[in-house]
């Protein structure tokens, strides 16, 4: 299994650390701990109010900044050109960095000039403030528009994806266009521990259901996953999922689970693709 997703030269470690909803010192400690344990991919966002805390951890860590992949995101009410640039400036200041590895639009909105928004996003890449750009929570028709009509050089899309939520069409598109797909809420907010089929697979291999859920994602081409874990024990357990070996029988059992159990669906969410699950 590749441990890196290399879409459009992105070179993003497949397993990262999600940081929402950690704040302040708890977040700094968790990120520092993760870096000590070997994580090299940290996911944050302006809306998480923890970029400062992540920046503190990056500053404290002996690991050089250029060996760590950092993703941040701009919130959907900051997508006008000036607002997006200011959001980027604030993020960089908080992260104590002069670039981010991946800068994403956090959610789409309907109240926007889409071509102008995408042009601004692309300009941040051209200026070198974002090494790569991407979008999160974009349904397939919108992603297609951004890539094919607006020609944006996207390296990644971040969406909810786990054993209880399918993303076939989006993933197929991402692969055909050399785009990474980052799975958020990859443990379905730890609902995976309660699934009998995962418990059965986990028992067979002497591992945890969470590790089965993560390895199922990490085994897939173009897919990265960013479980949030605050404790050292959970961070290490998630890292060890890279060593789990799933077989066809395991994958068949997982394929048989419901794929329609979305966990994240705020009132500002777009209309999701009905057949993409």
Binding residues for ligand NAP, per CB under 6 A?
A: 18-20, 43, 106, 136-137, 158, 184-190, 193, 210, 226-231, 234, 237-238, 264
Rounded to the nearest whole angstrom, what is the least distance from the CB of residue 139 to ligand NAP in the complex?
13
Is 99 one of the catalytic residues?
no
Closer residue to ligand NAP (CB): 40 or 228: 228
**Considering beta carbons, is residue 126 or 189 the nearer one to ligand NAP?**
189
To ligand NAP, the closest distance from the beta carbon of 193 in angstroms equals: 6
For residue 20, the minimal CB distance to ligand NAP (Å) is 4
Judge if the upstream peptide bond of residue 21 is cis by omega within 30 degrees of 0: yes
Q: Distance from CA of residue 242 to its chain's centroid? A: 17
Question: Which among 107, 112, 39 is positioned nearest to 74, based on CA atoms?
Answer: 107
The one-character DSSP state at 112 is S
CB neighbourhood size of 214 (10 A): 28
User: Using CB atoms, what's the residue nearest to ligand NAP?
Assistant: 18
What's the rounded Cα separation, in Å, for the pair 187 and 214?
7
Residue 158 or 220: the one with the smaller Cβ distance to ligand NAP is: 158
Q: Which is nearer to ligand NAP, 126 or 235 (CB)?
A: 235
Tally of CB atoms within 10 A around 80: 15
103 in Cβ contact with 134 (< 8 Å):
yes
Q: How far is the CB of 236 from ligand NAP (least distance, A)?
A: 8
Annotated catalytic residues are 48
């Amino acid at each position: 299994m590749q441990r890196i997703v290399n879409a459009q030269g992105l070179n993003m470690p497949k397993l990262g650390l999600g940081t929402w909803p950690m704040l302040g010192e708890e977040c700094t400690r968790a990120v520092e701990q993760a870096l000590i344990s070997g994580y090299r991919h940290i996911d944050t966002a302006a809306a998480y109010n923890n970029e400062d805390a992540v920046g503190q951890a990056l500053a404290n860590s002996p690991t050089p900044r250029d060996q760590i992949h950092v993703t941040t995101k701009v919130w959907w009410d900051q997508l006008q050109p000036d607002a997006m640039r200011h959001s980027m400036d604030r993020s960089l200041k908080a992260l104590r960095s002069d670039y981010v590895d991946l800068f994403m639009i956090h959610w789409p909105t309907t109240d926007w000039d889409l071509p102008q928004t995408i042009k601004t996003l692309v300009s941040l890449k051209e200026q070198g403030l974002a090494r790569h750009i991407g979008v999160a929570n974009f349904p397939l028709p919108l992603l297609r528009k951004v890539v094919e009509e607006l020609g944006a050089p996207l390296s990644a899309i971040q969406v909810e994806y786990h054993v209880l939520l399918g993303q076939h069409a989006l993933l197929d598109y991402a692969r055909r266009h050399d785009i990474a797909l980052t799975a958020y809420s990859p443990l379905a907010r730890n609902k995976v521990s309660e699934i009998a089929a995962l418990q059965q697979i986990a028992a067979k291999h002497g591992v945890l259901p969470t590790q089965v859920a993560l390895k199922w994602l990490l085994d897939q081409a173009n897919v990265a996953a960013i479980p949030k874990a605050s404790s050292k024990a959970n961070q290490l357990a998630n890292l060890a999922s890279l060593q789990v070996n799933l077989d066809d029988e395991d994958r068949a059992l997982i394929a048989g689970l419901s794929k329609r159990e979305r966990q994240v669906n705020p009132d500002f969410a777009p209309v999701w693709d009905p057949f993409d699950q």
